[in-house]
Amino acid sequence: MAKLLIVDDEKSIRENLVTFFELKGHQVHEAESGAQAISILSQNRFAAVLTDFRMAEMNGLELLKEVKRIDPNALVILMTAYGTVENAVAAMKAGAYDYVTKPFTLEQIQAVVDRALEFSRVQMENRTLRDTIDEVPLLESRSPAMQRLLETARQAAESDATILLTGESGTGKNVLARQIHRWSGRRDHPFVVVNCTTLSEELLESELFGHIRGAFTGAVKDKTGRLEAADGGTVFLDEIADLSLALQTKFLRFVQEQSFERVGGDRTIQVDTRIIVASNRDLAAEVAARHFRDDLYYRLNVIMLRLPPLRERLEDIPALTDLILKSASIRNRRPKMPLSSGAELVIRNYHWPGNVRELRNCLERAIVLARGREIVPEDLPDTLFRSELPAQTNTPGKLEDLEREHIMRVLADSSTLEEAAATLGINPTTLWRKRRRFQID
Ligand SMILES: Nc1ncnc2c1ncn2[C@@H]1O[C@H](COP(=O)(O)OP(=O)(O)OP(=O)(O)O)[C@@H](O)[C@H]1O
Ligand SMILES: [Mg+2]
């Protein structure tokens, strides 16, 4: 499901397209003029905008330029009359994703839209990937707790000791893991990330340890595992609490001996890797609940670094904001804009359940939406204004209830799971898991 905007001054065409794409499960908005489209675009983000070329007042090409200014990531598809190839060429030059010539069948336009949505998905993935790689993180702090943590992390980086990173989602565990690698003597060797949540147990096992040809159906050739790929460098196991008990046993041996066999293989492979693991769940509680092996927990918990939630280091918000605005404006090709004092106040008073990631998403969005010289409260998402904790009841509320309530509120305000996850500053898989755990439909 995606959000689409359809712009055409001819009512029947517009209605046909709206009905058709709604039936395909998309969320469709419509506009009868360029001006109306722009006003809708200032409130909503769309994966794709389909616009007629010839319209009274503002034509499709002019609208295209305006859309690109508001949201550089939106993909624009132009619908042009047959025989006006010059228009189409001009549109492609101005950054249109594609064009279709009228008359077209619904199947034809659907094919173009499907391709655009696939492109947009890949583009988004690349963006996330690039962000995590190019990011220059904030490595100093005004918060005493964070200062101590950074100091310990720097010292620990020099040793080969296993490090356990804990902290709420979005507090910067991935960022810090990569930084520790950069600080260490292993910096010129690989930094390999394995996320234990996203893969099935079988896939994860072969991802970690590799496999030999014929080890299972589909294993058509030998495969090097990530632990082997990290030889000489650092391996970062993210969301370690999601490792199954069977894999925990196998991983424990690796932690103890730095050796393992590929799935289906009998040759023992010896490597030299630094291990960092992270979890946003309380591992000690997982051990108590017998979901996590205690011997593995003790092996991993040599140096434990707990990243404080953003609400416990509010003094870092100005520096983080500055850093994020600087890189976000470059990335989105927008002028560098300061926060208005009103926006600053809103940001200071919010409790940031999604931590630094949420702050970053809010600012990134604001940079793209802001029309003036500075970012004003209107450029910030609504969630920031409704962040007061629920009214006090006689029984003190459990943290879990607050979390559940907040998630439900954001879900209700979002059109897709991805959008809700972005607002919450967690990744969609995490949101999906939380939804299941809290039994939210
Ligand atoms: N020190 C920092 N400087 C700048 N940006 C940061 C910093 N820490 C975190 N961020 C921002 O917050 C985002 C989330 O950080 P990260 O992915 O490391 O969180 P996490 O704790 O691993 O979250 P999760 O538990 O959801 O995986 C980063 O992509 C980055 O944009
Ligand atoms: Mg993470």
Closest atom of ligand 1 to CA, residue 174: 18
- Domain end among 306, 325, 351: 306
pLDDT of residue 202: 84
pLDDT of residue 132: 56
Q: Note the pLDDT tens digit of each residue in 46-81.
A: 889 999 998 888 999 999 988 888 877 789 999 988
Same domain, 188 and 223: yes
For residue 95, the domain's CATH number is 3.40.50.2300
pLDDT of residue 392: 39
Query: Does ligand 1 have an atom closer than 6 angstroms to the CB of 359?
Result: no
Q: Which residues of the chain have pLDDT under 50?
A: 389-395
Q: Note the pLDDT tens digit of each residue in 320-341.
A: 999 999 888 887 888 889 999 9
Give the domain range for residue 337. 313-437
Q: How many domains does the chain have?
A: 3
Same domain, 55 and 203: no
Ligand nearest, relative to CA of residue 173: 1
Same domain, 172 and 263: yes
- Domain end among 99, 132, 165: 132
Q: How many angstroms is it from 255 CA to the middle of ligand 2?
A: 21
Considering only CA atoms, which of 258, 236, 128, 138 is closest in space to residue 181?
236
Other C-beta atoms closer than 10 Å to the C-beta of 269 total 18
Same domain, 200 and 106: no
Query: Does ligand 1 have an atom closer than 6 angstroms to the CB of 167?
Result: yes
User: The dihedral of CA 81, 82, 84, 85: what is its sign?
Assistant: positive
| 142 assigned to some structural domain | no
Same domain, 163 and 301: yes
How far are the Cα atoms of 230, 271, 293 from residue 209, in angstroms, in the given order?
11, 11, 19
For residue 426, the domain's CATH number is 1.10.8.60
| 356 assigned to some structural domain | yes
For residue 211, the domain's CATH number is 3.40.50.300
Tokens of 327: 């890189």
- Rounded Cα gap, residues 123 and 125, in angstroms: 5
Same domain, 319 and 271: no
| 141 assigned to some structural domain | no
- Domain end among 106, 132, 158: 132
pLDDT of residue 288: 95
| 140 assigned to some structural domain | no
